Amino acid sequence: MDNNNKLKKIIGPVILVLILAFMISLPLFAQNYTIILLRTILMYVALTLSWVLFSGFTGYTSLATAVFYGTGLYTAGVLNGVLPLPLLMLCSGLISAVLALIIGTITLRLRGIYFAIFTLSSVELIKHVLNWYEINVLGVRGHYVTRVDYGTVYYILLAIVVLILITTYLIKRSRYGLALSGIKSCEEAAVHTGVNATALKVLLFALSAFFIGMTGTVMATGMLYVDSIIAFNLNYSFFPTLMAIFGGMSSMFGPIIGATVFAYLQEYLITRSPDAYMFIFGLVMIITILYLPDGLVGLYVRIRELLLQKAIPQIRRKISGGKHANTAS
Amino acid sequence: MVLLINIILNGLLLGGIYAVTAVGLSLQYGVARILNIAHGEYIMVGAFLTWLVHTKFGVNPLLCLAVAGPAMFILGYLVQTFLFRKLKEKTPTPAEFEGSSMLMAFGILFVIQSIAIFLWGTNIEGYSYLAYSIYLGDIRLSVNRLVILIAALAICLLFYLLLTRTRTGKAIRAASQDPDAAALMGININRMLALCFALGAMMAGFAGMLISLVYQLQTNMGMQYTIIAIIVVVLGGLGSIPGSLIGGFLLGILGAIVNSIEPGLHMAAYYLLFMILLLVKPSGIFGR
Amino acid sequence: MRKKSLLLFLIACLALALVFTGCAGNSNNSNNNNNGKALEDKDKLVFGGARSLSGPLAIQDESCFGPVYRMWIDEVNERGGIYVEEYGKKLPIELKLYDDTSDMNTMITLLEKSMVEDKVDFLLAPISTAFLHAAAPICNEHGYLLIGAEGGAKELEPLMAGLPYFFSLLNYATHQVDPFVEMLAEHGIENAAIIFIADQHGIEYSGDLVPRLTMAGIDVVFSRSIPLGTKDMTALLEEAKAKNVQALLCCAYPDENFAVFTQCMEVGYNPDVIIFGPGICLEVFPQIFGVEATHGVMGWGAWNEKSSPAMADLAKRLTEHQGGNRNVDWWGQAIYYAGLEILEQAIEKAGTIDHSVLKDVIATETFDTVIGKVWFENGGVPAECYPGQVGQWQNGIFEVVAPSDKATAAPLIPKPPWPTQ
């Protein structure tokens, strides 16, 4: 029994190490397009994890992902050639974080659906104001972005994902994690226990925006041309949210699996059957939510339970029945 | 002064459309707690059905509400009974249901839109209907928009009467206020929810019909109307039918005013006003 | 303790990564397309690319370039294919298109997939000016020819020298604005108002129109931008009407153009000249609003069945290919078709599908196409090659009205009144 527990403790990190090592060495033997595709998938993983970092902890549904992602893209366009990429990423991350601080501070009173819709409108507001400013004040639309090779982009994105994972892990383990789970279950109670819930909430929002902004800047280097309409696309608000629900938010792996499967499925359908892509994609979404209410992670849990409760004991019985029929405990 | 009256009138005329697009969504959210992201798709289908019947058979587009309304009603009823009801049975907490129903609505959006693209393509379609103005002194009134405003008010009024004066309407309202108590009183909640969702979809069909009178149609137009509808609903207070009406007119007038000052910023102004209002009074104008 | 285990964790990752790398060895595969290697036998030419089959840009695939490439591929395959000398036979065409859902990142990803993984033989251009801006440098880097379709990327002009593989097909604003302003001046138009979409297209046209109108002595009353998705333009139209503006120039997309058009009728504003951007040049326009209401409305373009027998035949074939549905774009479709003909002729002239050879052939030779002789100068088509720059709907036909040497009818100025209800 003791041995079994120890094994369980080790198995998780070992799998993680294996996956990460595989991901790090992948560009050296994978085909070129695999890296290009993984770049998009990693982008979605980063966005979804960042979304979960805020919304998963606090229970607030944020649809502001496109604001921060767009800020990242757009900053890359405006400051292209002015700063080297690492500084540019830091810069757009900080701008996104500041934006998040502002949005977070003024929306303190809003809860639930109101918060979601406020953040949704902020995407459109920023898009239209920037667009108007570009056209009427600057007299240009769109900015070129210097291209960075896909391998570099891949590693940067991988690093961002790892960074978000570590951050999430550390927060979960710290006393703030406990305070945050307090916010989620009952905000008022959390306030009474002396936790500065609002400050914590806003800071977390800014932290998640920081990562999203950096991701945006990295992705811009593969897009070459950015303008306000392309940058502030509502899809980037909806998709991470859907991916997180799709994967299941009960575990840290849920969003990763959700984003990966969702993004890969999208690519698969678009390339294999461009005409039926939307139809099948929609059906998959409906079926998943109907039959897997806890997301893909829920499916995993269910399968494991099934195996543990039925299949494995049966196998054990068979084995023990065949070999050690006499020494049955 | 005349200019101001013209602007406000124009806003009122535009607001009628916004109000009708929002009423259905308001009902669906108010009673069934579904933020129906696919609402605009029902509007799109309603608009295309109207266009189809009008151009193929030469039927007066206003009469096409006899096609668009019931068709959407049936679609809504089916979607609720076969999809959202099942989902609700599987997700115990309301918060979870809010998230997962949005995902499902997104799936429905994809399915409806893909079928529409298959049927009607992605090209722009439309027809011209009563595109001229009548004048009362210096005050100009677009005839087609006037028709829309009257139709919108009539539809909303009938709908309001249905909810407040009939037995079914009372049952729906009871179900929205306290589902458990309503169930104890012998109201079939599932039937009420389905009815409610179907009525919301029917209103979307009507909205589509009205929109097709003035604007051109495209199979991807749904999302923009969904967003307008969400804004109007929140502006007026979630679940409040008169609120949606007032919210729609407010948005229409505001749009017309900004449009006459700086047209380049009128979309931004919509969102800005909406966000400010949300901050000042989060529950909307008519919210409880 | 936690920090230590985290460190251990990362070290383990890196170590394993090294091991993986060691195992992988030097199996790096090269990505150059069809050059360097010995010629393998081919039995078809694959045309790939990313087009917007859904999303806001999808309307253009269905009404502009889409019908043309589909018809052209069918026609070529009926002939048995394109003759390529280095293979000594005709190669039929296979289409392998992806849907970019009108999203920039998806478009780039899929374009790369076409070039890197599918190794398609030729690419079709993506939709819209912004997408061309992004696609042109990438294709150039991979050594793939890209012949632009929907999208007149004038801003790309200064970069053109560095993009030898990119050719811009459609008219620029500069091509069209000159003959248009000339025509206005000839007919004694004194003032004009501009409504433009807050987009590359709007900036390009309004930016060209304002100085040229002023130079021609035409007063620009206002030049206002409208955001994408604007529905109600009546305030602007009332302003133009109140100020007796003689020429209304609306540089927007189909959605907004159609809205401005109906709202002009609503407001009862009938300027002497009214011109619109893309959308008005589509056959769908009179189909929706009727021949009477569209009589006298101008649009950029243009070509029609009277331009030449070859173009009349093209319009007939396009209609037949779409099952009798006369879904024709009287601005671009003849030009897009010419672009495909240029590619076909270049392949036959060069006798190879090596893009580095083809690009030089296209850049230097003159081609005989459906719109007449066409050649490229600095990656773009010179103005005299186009069948027309300004069109006007007259009794249900999109007549070419400028420049005068290409005109199929005299311009109708002032525009006749709107039909009475």
Q: What is the mean pLDDT of residues B243-261?
A: 85
Residue C284 located in a structural domain = yes
Reported as a single tens digit per residue, the pLDDT across A114-130 is 888 889 889 999 999 99
Q: What is the mean pLDDT of residues A258-262?
A: 91
Q: What is the DSSP string of B220-270?
A: T-HHHHHHHHHHHHHHH-TT-HHHHHHHHHHHHHHHHHHHHH-GGGHHHHH
Closest approach of chain B CAs to the CA of C205, in angstroms? Answer: 17
Beta-carbon count within 10 A of A208 CB: 31
Instruction: Identify whether residues A4 and A144 lie together within a single domain.
Output: no
Q: What is the mean pLDDT of residues C205-220?
A: 90
Instruction: Identify whether residues C116 and C129 lie together within a single domain.
Output: yes
Q: What is the mean pLDDT of residues C126-155?
A: 85
Instruction: Identify whether residues A212 and A99 lie together within a single domain.
Output: yes
Residue C131 located in a structural domain = yes
pLDDT, position C27: 42
Instruction: Identify whether residues A16 and A102 lie together within a single domain.
Output: no
Rounded CA-CA distance C262/C418 in Å is 10
Instruction: Identify whether residues A15 and A61 lie together within a single domain.
Output: no
Residue contact B131–C265, C-beta within 8 A: yes
Instruction: Identify whether residues C63 and C158 lie together within a single domain.
Output: yes
C82-84 and C122-123: which strand pairing? unpaired
Residue contact A131–C24, C-beta within 8 A: no
Chains meeting B at 3+ CB pairs closer than 8 A? A, C
Rounded CA-CA distance A23/A156 in Å is 12
Residue A324 located in a structural domain = no
- Cβ neighbours of residue C360 under 8 Å, at least 6 residues apart? none
Whose structure tokens read 């081609």?
Answer: C367
pLDDT, position B186: 78
Instruction: Identify whether residues C267 and C401 lie together within a single domain.
Output: yes
A225-226 and A143-144: which strand pairing? antiparallel
C298-300 and C273-276: which strand pairing? parallel
Fold classification of B2-280 (topology level) = ABC transporter involved in vitamin B12 uptake, BtuC (1.10.3470)
Chain C residues close to A173, C-beta within 8 Å? 2
Chains meeting C at 3+ CB pairs closer than 8 A? A, B
Three-class secondary structure of residue A145 per DSSP: coil
Q: Which two tokens stand for residue A248?
A: 């299941």
Nearest Cβ partner for C225 among B14, B224, B264: B264
Residue contact A128–B271, C-beta within 8 A: yes
Instruction: Identify whether residues C271 and C396 lie together within a single domain.
Output: yes
Residue A17: pLDDT over 90? no
Determine the residue of chain C that is closest to B115 in CA distance: C54
Q: Where are the strands (E) in A217-306, listed by range?
A: 225-226
Asked whether the bond before C414 is cis by omega within 30 degrees of 0, the reply is yes
pLDDT, position C31: 41
Residue pair A28/A84 in contact by the 8 Å Cβ criterion: no
Residue pair C279/C329 in contact by the 8 Å Cβ criterion: no
Rounded CA-CA distance A229/C102 in Å is 12
Convert chain C into a string of H (helix), E (strand) and C (coil). CHHHHHHHHHHHHHHHHHHHHHHHCCCCCCCCCCCCCCCCCCCCEEEEEEECCCCCCHHHHHHCHHHHHHHHHHHHHHCCCEEEHHHCEEECEEEEEEECCCCHHHHHHHHHHHHHHCCCCEECCCCCHHHHHHHHHHHHHHCCCEECCCCCCHHHHHHHHHCCCEEECCCCHHHHHHHHHHHHHHCCCCEEEEEEECCHHHHHHHHHHHHHHHHCCCEEEEEEEECCCCCCCHHHHHHHHHCCCCEEEEECCHHHHHHHHHHHHHHCCCCCEEEECCCCCECHHHHHHCHHHHCCCEEECCCCCCCCHHHHHHHHHHHHHCCCCCCCECCCHHHHHHHHHHHHHHHHHHCCCCHHHHHHHHHHCEEEECCEEEECECCECCHHHCCCCEEEEECCEEEEEECHHHCCCCCCCCCCCCCCC
Q: Where are the strands (E) in B164-209, listed by range?
A: none
Instruction: Identify whether residues C198 and C332 lie together within a single domain.
Output: no
Q: What is the CATH number of the domain that holds C203?
A: 3.40.50.2300
Domain count, chain A: 2
Instruction: Identify whether residues C204 and C282 lie together within a single domain.
Output: yes
Residue contact C226–B124, C-beta within 8 A: no
Determine the residue of chain A that is closest to B235 in CA distance: A114
**Phi, psi of C84, rounded to the nearest 5 degrees:** -115, 120
Instruction: Identify whether residues C156 and C178 lie together within a single domain.
Output: no
C247-251 and C273-276: which strand pairing? parallel
pLDDT, position A323: 52
CA distances from C119 to A33, A167, C144 (A): 11, 41, 10
pLDDT, position A102: 94
Q: Which of A231-240, B132-141, B250-259 has the highest mean pLDDT?
A: A231-240
**Phi, psi of B280, rounded to the nearest 5 degrees:** -75, -45
Residue C1: pLDDT over 70? no
The domain in which residue A49 lies consists of 31-239
pLDDT, position A325: 46
Instruction: Identify whether residues C193 and C254 lie together within a single domain.
Output: yes
Instruction: Identify whether residues A4 and A150 lie together within a single domain.
Output: no
pLDDT, position A6: 67
pLDDT, position C17: 60
Three-class secondary structure of residue B89 per DSSP: helix
Residue contact B122–C289, C-beta within 8 A: no
Chain B residues close to A275, C-beta within 8 Å? 118
- Cβ neighbours of residue A322 under 8 Å, at least 6 residues apart? none
Share of chain B above pLDDT 90, in %: 16
pLDDT, position C117: 87
Reported as a single tens digit per residue, the pLDDT across C284-295 is 899 888 888 899
Instruction: Identify whether residues A22 and A43 lie together within a single domain.
Output: no
Residue A267 located in a structural domain = no
Instruction: Identify whether residues C52 and C144 lie together within a single domain.
Output: yes
pLDDT, position A2: 55
Chain B residues close to C229, C-beta within 8 Å? 224, 267
Q: What is the ipTM of this complex?
A: 0.85
Closest approach of chain A CAs to the CA of B81, in angstroms? Answer: 13
| CA B28 to chain CA centroid, nearest Å | 10
Instruction: Identify whether residues A14 and A107 lie together within a single domain.
Output: no
- Cβ neighbours of residue B273 under 8 Å, at least 6 residues apart? B251, B254
The more confident residue out of C81 and A293 is: C81
Determine the residue of chain C that is closest to B144 in CA distance: C266
Determine the residue of chain C that is closest to B131 in CA distance: C266
Residue A93: pLDDT over 90? yes
B263 at C interface, C-beta within 8 A = yes
Rounded CA-CA distance A217/A69 in Å is 8
Nearest Cβ partner for A230 among C27, C104, C155: C104
Residue contact C327–B123, C-beta within 8 A: yes
Reported as a single tens digit per residue, the pLDDT across A146-172 is 888 888 899 999 999 999 998 988 888
Residues forming a β-bridge with C224: C195
The more confident residue out of B59 and A175 is: B59
Rounded CA-CA distance B270/B266 in Å is 6
Q: What is the mean pLDDT of residues A136-141?
A: 77
Q: Which two tokens stand for residue A164?
A: 């978000």
Of A32, A53, A50, nearest to A42 by C-alpha is A50
User: What is the Cα gyration radius of chain B?
Assistant: 19
Mutate to test the interface with C, among B259, B260, B261, B262 (most CBs of C within 10 A): B259
Mutate to test the interface with B, among C283, C288, C328 (most CBs of B within 10 A): C288
Amino acid in position B53: V
Whose structure tokens read 């360097």?
Answer: C36
Instruction: Identify whether residues A90 and A9 lie together within a single domain.
Output: no
Residue A321 located in a structural domain = no
Range with the poorest average pLDDT among A54-68, A217-231, B272-286, C127-141:
B272-286
Residue A311: pLDDT over 80? no
The band of C10, judged by pLDDT with boundaries at 50, 70 and 90, is low
Chain C residues close to B263, C-beta within 8 Å? 224-226, 230, 233, 235-236
Residue contact A227–C29, C-beta within 8 A: no
Residue C35: pLDDT over 50? no
Q: What is the mean pLDDT of residues C92-118?
A: 90
Instruction: Identify whether residues C294 and C223 lie together within a single domain.
Output: yes
Question: Which A residues, 8 through 47, put their C-beta within 8 Å of a C-beta on chain C?
Answer: 13, 16-18, 20-22, 24-25, 28-29, 31-33, 36-37, 39-40, 43
Closest approach of chain C CAs to the CA of A126, in angstroms? Answer: 13
Residue contact B140–C421, C-beta within 8 A: no
The band of C393, judged by pLDDT with boundaries at 50, 70 and 90, is very high
Domain count, chain C: 2
Q: Where are the strands (E) in A206-257, listed by range?
A: 225-226
Rounded CA-CA distance A191/A246 in Å is 32
Instruction: Identify whether residues A10 and A146 lie together within a single domain.
Output: no
Residue C162 located in a structural domain = yes
Instruction: Identify whether residues A14 and A46 lie together within a single domain.
Output: no
Q: What is the DSSP letter of B61?
A: G
pLDDT, position A328: 42
pLDDT, position A7: 67
Q: What is the mean pLDDT of residues B100-105?
A: 83
Q: What is the mean pLDDT of residues B159-178?
A: 82
Residue contact B231–A117, C-beta within 8 A: yes
Nearest Cβ partner for B224 among C54, C229, C282: C229
Rounded CA-CA distance A83/A80 in Å is 7
Residue B81: pLDDT over 60? yes
Residue contact B104–A285, C-beta within 8 A: yes
Residue C33 located in a structural domain = no
Instruction: Identify whether residues C257 and C324 lie together within a single domain.
Output: no
Residue C16 located in a structural domain = no
The band of A327, judged by pLDDT with boundaries at 50, 70 and 90, is very low
Chain B residues close to A106, C-beta within 8 Å? 279
The band of A1, judged by pLDDT with boundaries at 50, 70 and 90, is very low
Rounded CA-CA distance C210/C221 in Å is 10
Beta-carbon count within 10 A of C30 CB: 8
Share of chain C above pLDDT 90, in %: 30
Residue contact A25–C21, C-beta within 8 A: yes
pLDDT, position C16: 61
Q: What is the DSSP letter of B72?
A: H
Q: What is the mean pLDDT of residues B107-117?
A: 92
Residue A297 located in a structural domain = no
Q: What is the dihedral of CA A143, A231, C168, C275, to 10 degrees?
A: -100
Three-class secondary structure of residue B281 per DSSP: coil
The last residue of a domain, from among A189, A207, A239: A239
Reported as a single tens digit per residue, the pLDDT across B188-200 is 888 888 888 899 9
A142 at C interface, C-beta within 8 A = yes
Residue contact A286–B278, C-beta within 8 A: no
Chain B residues close to A66, C-beta within 8 Å? none
Reported as a single tens digit per residue, the pLDDT across C320-368 is 998 888 888 899 899 999 999 999 999 999 988 899 999 999 999 899 9
- Count of CA atoms in the C-beta half-sphere (13 A) of C43: 0
Instruction: Identify whether residues A188 and A65 lie together within a single domain.
Output: yes
Average pLDDT, chain B: 85
The domain in which residue C143 lies consists of 45-168+311-385
The last residue of a domain, from among A219, A239, A259: A239
Rounded CA-CA distance C64/C337 in Å is 11
Instruction: Identify whether residues C141 and C228 lie together within a single domain.
Output: no
pLDDT, position B131: 73
